[in-house]
Structure 1
């Protein structure tokens, strides 16, 4: 099952191989001089950031096995899924990425969370499907609005984020697979407090804002804003006073991830072993992944992604037909026809042509 061992076609493989790599740059404070090593780390960090600082964080086990032990595993994510009801395995690697916003003062994901925390005890505020091409050179991230009105197996029509509350990762995976016809190979979840920790670990991020607004006591001015972790959290949480509410909020979340990658790449974290360790340590402590991703599997995945460039990561949103209400709930209706085009393009690795046809679905330079 791909959920247990990952696709074995092409170069990407999620489990098993022992990629015994070490960053041996002499000691903290010394800069990495080998261009090839720098590209490798950059490729891994691209997915660390793009994938909510989630699955590929373990790729930095190149630094330390103990970091891999920091990454919490969610048990039996794929065990409850019926194999004959799932989409067939492909030659790419697909991740389901979830962000939760409990507003709790204590961590709810990652190794620092209490052992009795139920990963499906709250609704998911971020749902992203990420696909990595077989050769590891390109990746795509598609946001699915959390209020999308979809069929939740065994529960009927409901918001997609309700699937996580009803049945945890397994039911959300079934729901997403039924909706997109894409097989999910791995699952990762991070809470918003973990995102805040990652932002602080790189000294803050820079984002552009289309118009002045405010949220949770934080004022955002038009143009470039420098945000620390707490301010970045207010930025990605905001939906009121934005022209398109939750739809703009989803684009802000993608924009913040893009900014985190840019800051890490330009601010020296990638070439400074100590700075790199701070970022990876923060990530590893705030992420939970499915238990099929062993430490060796994460190392192997990091090696396979050594050629990935930030510019080769495409951000898109699932197309929306309109907004409405179901009883007391505000919901999002997906555009079925264009969604079918999107999922076909994702499956075939032709998202660039899809994005050219529908530029409004792509992440622009300055979201609301």
Structure 2
């Protein structure tokens, strides 16, 4: 053996080792580049969707700070649907610049609270005809607050009524709801008894509804035993069905994107909810499933009339318990103790 052979061998091994390290480093750099590219794509995608969302300016303007309830854990949203009959959007990105969200009365009023870890949520409807005190306007139907003073007056009215602090505000019109339902290929709801509305027939049992049919479903109040109260339950049932369909679409990125895209284009939120805030909320709620959402309605003492108006009188005593549970994040326990107040599996 030549004396310099070990040196040659060692040099060859060293070259192979350096080459191996270069290949490994190259692979790591490539993987890192792909990860960064993917992260950038996700960021740009969420920015695009976030930019689609209409913003309601000054939703909390003029609400005296000392009159507001204390903040509680989780995030609370005041969600409303407007009762415009226009086929054109009045909320979201495509709403004309001259349309004011507060120019209509609110048809749907819901408080939604999401737990800090996003694993559970509670949704409680407030009947639109609830006879309540509206600050500066006297006693009137709660849905008049939105027409009188837009988001700030409705938020203040709801906070005074419930003792629940509203963190964010969201509004959608019925045209937007219809588009959201169509984006997921329709929803499935159960109906207690055959009925019809706006030319759409609903049979007893399971019904698959497209956007237009779902709109007729949530708008119906005539021929329902509870009138507006049953309509509020139908609105919750449709929301639950939409959440269920969204959960099914988690394994279908295209379907999920279509829903998120439709939502971003048709919903308006308060201008304190930034794109970053929307991303954080999405991350917080990624583990939320329909089974983790509790649906209830504000307790009702009875129906009556005030002048020419049909109104709903809320049960203030029972409401104290419900709103306390809502604030404290114990709605699941509340429903367990008051099962008749939960949304039925097959509402009218």
TM-score bracket relative to the smaller structure: 0.7 to 0.9
Whether contact under 8 Å (1:61, 1:67) holds in the other structure is no
Structure 2 CA distance, aligned partners of 1:23 and 1:187? 34
Aligned pairs for 1:1-368 within 5 A: 63-266=45-248, 269-368=249-348
Structure 1 pair 350–294 and aligned structure 2 pair: CA distance change class (3 A):
same
Kept after mapping to 2: 8 A contact 1:131/1:141: yes
Distance 1:149 1:23 in 2: 55
- Using the TM superposition, give the Cα deviation of residue 129 of structure 1 relative to its aligned residue in structure 2, in angstroms: 0.5
> Does the CA-based 8 Å contact 1:102-1:122 persist in structure 2?
yes
* Unaligned 5+ runs, structure 2: 1-34
How far apart, in 1, do the equivalents of 2:337 and 2:304 lie?
26
Distance 2:347 2:197 in 1: 16
Q: TM-score, normalised by structure 2?
A: 0.87
Structure-2 separation of matches of 1:108 and 1:300 = 27
Distance, in Å, in 1 between the alignment partners of 2:268 and 2:44 is: 19
Number of aligned residues = 313
Partner of 1:108: helix, strand, or coil? coil
Q: 2:138 and 2:119 mapped to 1: Cα distance?
A: 38
For residues 137-194 of structure 1, give each alpha carbon's deviation from its aligned partner in whole angstroms, at most 9, with x where no partner exists.
2110000000000000001110000000000000000000000001100000000111
Change (3 A) 1:22 1:325: farther
- Deviations for 1:114-140, whole angstroms, at most 9, x for unmatched residues? 112111001000000011122222110
The structural deviation recorded for 1:61 is 6.9
> How far did 1:279 drift?
1.0
The normalised TM-score by structure 1 is 0.82
The structure, 1 or 2, with the larger RCO (C-alpha pairs under 8 Å, 6+ apart) is 1
Contact 2:135 2:153 in 1 (8 A): yes
CA distance in 1, matches of 2:276, 2:292: 25
1:56 aligned partner = none
**Stretch of structure 1 that moved more, 141-150 or 298-307:** 298-307
Q: Secondary structure at the match of 2:101?
A: coil
Deviates more, 1:149-158 or 1:83-92: 83-92
Q: Distance in 1 between matches of 2:37 and 2:80?
A: 30
CA distance in 1, matches of 2:245, 2:43: 21
Larger CA Rg, structure 1 vs 2: 2
Matched residue SS, 2:224? coil
Structure 1 segments unaligned to the other structure (5+ residues): 1-20, 28-59
Matching residue of 2:28: none
Q: Return the alpha-carbon distance in structure 1 between the equivalents of residues 177 and 47 of structure 2.
A: 22
Check the 8 A contact 2:81/2:109 in 1, yes or no. Answer: yes
Whether the 8 Å CA contact 2:301–2:313 is kept in 1: the answer is: yes
- Deviation, 1:66, is 1.2
Compute the RMSD of aligned alpha carbons: 1.9
- Which moved further from structure 2: 232-241 or 309-318? 309-318
Greater share of residues in helix: 2
After TM superposition, give the deviation of residue 256 of structure 1 in Å.
0.7
Distance in 2 of aligned mates of 1:292 and 1:316: 27
The answer to whether the 8 Å contact 1:61/1:295 transfers is: no
